[in-house]
Amino acid sequence: MAMFSGIIRKSILVMFLSLIVSSSSGCTLTWGGLQLTHAYMLFWETLPPFPVSAYWSQQVEDAYYEEERYGKVEILDPIDGENAPLYCLDPPTPDEVIRAIPNSPEGGFAFFSDTQWNNVRMTMDLIVDKVEDCKFYPLAGPARMHKCHYKCTVYYTKIERSNYPIPFENIDYDSREVVYIDHDHLIRCAGPDAAELSLTP
């Protein structure tokens, strides 16, 4: 108890001395910083600078990346031949599967709550491969919908670790996630069917 009270007295003394020195030595760190920030705002006509975690910057970049790579529907040219075979030849990439998993391990706080995925393995099974009839789509014209649906199963070793306030570590060697991804796309129609759909009011 005596040691604890001594630490408190020393801490109060250091804080008191710091306050006296900062106010009587001519140093205007706090007030000068506020004045400089206000002048910066008036000159550049913007908000004051404030620190932003790199996590939020990465979230914005990921949103643009996913919209560019995976958020758009392709419109392909007509396939030559009346009975030309159409197959789903564009399975999901590992990057797309990991980004589609809802229970992502990203985020958390170091030493407080940390989650890791190790030994990641995945399988991709084609469950739907169907070409619909030709019909008119707004902003696309006469086209056929080619449906390609995949069932992706991700197997991994999940490690949950915390060092404070209660240190523990939990390892799950048989964790898995299942996500369904569709690569539906349009194929333009050609021939008499396309002409009839274009003339239909």
Residue type, 50: F
- CA-to-CA separations, 131 to 103, 146, 186, in angstroms, rounded: 32, 4, 9
Look at phi and psi of residue 102 and say left if phi exceeds 0, alpha if psi is from -120 to 50, else beta.
alpha
The pair of three-digit structure tokens given for residue 70, joined into one six-digit string = 């995976």
d(CA 153, CA 177): 6
pLDDT at site 198: 53
Task: Report whether 120 contacts 155 (CB < 8 A).
Answer: yes
Structure-block tokens of residue 48: 């004051």
pLDDT of residue 122: 95
Residue ranges of the chain with pLDDT lower than 70?
1-6, 21-30, 81-83, 106-107, 191-201
Q: Is 0.85 topped by the overall pTM?
A: no
Contact 180/149 with Cβ under 8 angstroms? yes
Structure tokens at 99: 């980004």
Instruction: Give the residue among 113, 130, 110, 105 at the shortest CA–CA distance from 182.
Output: 130
What is the pLDDT, as a whole number, of residue 94? Answer: 94
Q: Specify the pLDDT at position 150.
A: 97
- Dist CA 57 CA 62 (whole Å): 9
* Listed residue (63, 157, 55) closest to 109, CA to CA: 55
